[in-house]
């Protein structure tokens, strides 16, 4: 499953020259990840509020191929690459007018936020959703 997340570049996303400020790519990778889970019917906000579970980022990387500018429209395609019991890796591709402008990834860990944050196994509810959406083979 690939989730496409569209973004319209606003002036506040850019530097004084109208070029997208690089930290925004990391913000958009995060937004696209949350959109992927919402599309599967699972809000990460719900997990945090109701289950005290989150997916903090352990690692993030982005390669910038060409610039984006004020009022460009960009599509972020997010796809699950690695799925382990406690860790997931998502690839993110940024395109503008059909041209790849950046590519990156994020590595996240299922985490329980009790007294001390602790890595946990992926909850069964989420595993079931991943199977239903074709991201994980049934056991």
Q: pLDDT of 94-133, one tens digit each?
A: 999 999 999 999 999 999 998 899 999 998 888 888 778 7
**Domain assignment of residue 109, given as a range:** 2-132
Report the CATH number at residue 121. Answer: 3.10.129.10
pTM of the model: 0.90
pLDDT in tens, 26-83: 999 999 999 988 988 889 999 999 999 999 999 999 999 999 999 999 999 999 888 8
β-pairing, 99-109 vs 111-113, is unpaired
Task: State the CB neighbour count (10 A cutoff) for residue 17.
Answer: 8
Within a domain: 88: yes
pLDDT, tens digit, for every residue of 3-32?
A: 899 999 999 999 999 999 999 999 999 999
Task: Give me the numbers of helices (H) and strands (E) for the chain, helices first please.
Answer: 3, 8
Residue 24 in domain = yes
- Tally of structural domains, the chain: 1
């Amino acid at each position: 499953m690939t989730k496409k997340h569209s973004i319209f570049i606003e002036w506040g996303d850019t530097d004084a020259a109208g070029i997208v400020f690089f930290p925004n790519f990391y913000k958009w990778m995060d937004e696209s990840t949350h959109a992927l889970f919402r599309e599967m019917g699972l809000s990460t906000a719900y997990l945090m509020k109701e289950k005290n579970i989150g997916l903090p980022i352990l690692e993030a990387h982005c390669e910038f191929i060409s610039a984006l500018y004020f009022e460009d429209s960009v599509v972020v395609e997010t796809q699950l690459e690695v799925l382990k019991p406690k860790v997931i890796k998502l690839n993110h591709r940024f395109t503008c007018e059909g041209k790849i402008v950046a590519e990156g990834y994020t590595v996240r860990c299922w985490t329980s936020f009790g007294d001390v944050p602790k890595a946990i196994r992926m909850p069964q509810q989420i595993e079931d959703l991943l199977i239903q959406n074709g991201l994980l083979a049934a056991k």
